[in-house]
Amino acid sequence: MKILVTGGAGFIGSHITDRMIELGNDVVIVDDLSTGKEEYVNPKAKFFKVDITDTEALLKVFRDESPEIVAHLAAQVNVRVSMTNPDMDARINIMGSLNVLKGAIECNARKFIFSSTGGAIYGEPENLPVSEKAKENPLSPYGLAKLTVENYIKVIAGLNDLKYTILRYSNVYGPRQIVKGESGVIALFTQRMLEGKTPVIFGDGSHTRDYVYVSDVVDANVLALEIGDGMTYNIGTGTQIDVNEVYEKLEASLKSGIKPEYGDEIPGEVRHIALDCDMIRRETGWSPKFDFDIGVKTTIEYYREIV
């Protein structure tokens, strides 16, 4: 089948593209390379350097390529940027997403898979790990934009007989994470430590996150090709790990001898989050295969080669 992947030159999108091609699919990539990298583009994919906010250019790709499946990952993904520039965040994450959704409908795509966020949509949940039934309470424009797009998808897909699956990721990490645009602490800390620079921990380091390895996220996207119609699934591990522990595990492997600096907390970022993934486990059999220690080891090996 033909699959169009927006953000296919980015961290998660490039891994999804690679797997889809391995499975024998034709893949079309749309990416403006604002945070993605051209070297991440699979040579077997058809690549279009197009911004999803460029309506006419984007719709031309959809009309020319007529994908059966649309996997939408292109986004402004930095919570901190959304706090300082909510207009830009909304333009990309809401209006750009509506363009992608319009393209899927115009070309009569069969399925729309949306990469959303579980880390920013729920806010500060009353209970952890948090399930899909919990109240959404985003604390940042980024989380609000993702939730808004989820609701647009449900309404517009329903009006146009378009199947969809929404995947709410926890904190994804692994090889190819792009420090410039995504600021994942594992990638950021690893790169800085390998370069002999001091990592900065915002707050006291007690903030917890649910870290899910990128290959496990790819597995969920593969399952969504054929199942999970009309569903919203959390994708994570259900386990909380604080930032201090992340640093300690990295330092145990890297042995840099560098101690972190501590800075002010970032407004709009949740203190504690972990995702309950029982629903997708029950309905599809998906579960994370990579534990944190193995995932960190693999990630460090990747950055050792490129730094």
Q: Which residues are catalytic?
A: 142
Residues 6+ apart with CB under 8 A from 154: 164
Q: How many CA atoms lie within 13 A of 64 on its CB side?
A: 11
Longest dimension (CA), the chain: 58
- CA dist., res. 263 & res. 192, Å (int): 16
Report whether the peptide linkage leading into residue 129 is cis, meaning its omega lies within 30 degrees of zero.
yes
- CA dist., res. 305 & res. 303, Å (int): 5
Phi-psi category of 90—alpha, beta or left, where left has phi over 0 and alpha has psi -120 to 50? alpha
Question: Phi/psi of residue 111, each to 5°?
Answer: -145, 145
Residue pair 199/192 in contact by the 8 Å Cβ criterion: yes
- CA dist., res. 133 & res. 212, Å (int): 20
Residue pair 208/242 in contact by the 8 Å Cβ criterion: yes
Q: Which of 151, 162, 211 is nearest to 185 (CA)?
A: 211
Q: How many residues does the chain have?
A: 307
Residue pair 104/162 in contact by the 8 Å Cβ criterion: yes
Residue pair 173/138 in contact by the 8 Å Cβ criterion: no
Beta strands in 41-173 (DSSP E): 46-48, 69-72, 111-117, 163-169, 171-173
- CA dist., res. 185 & res. 193, Å (int): 12
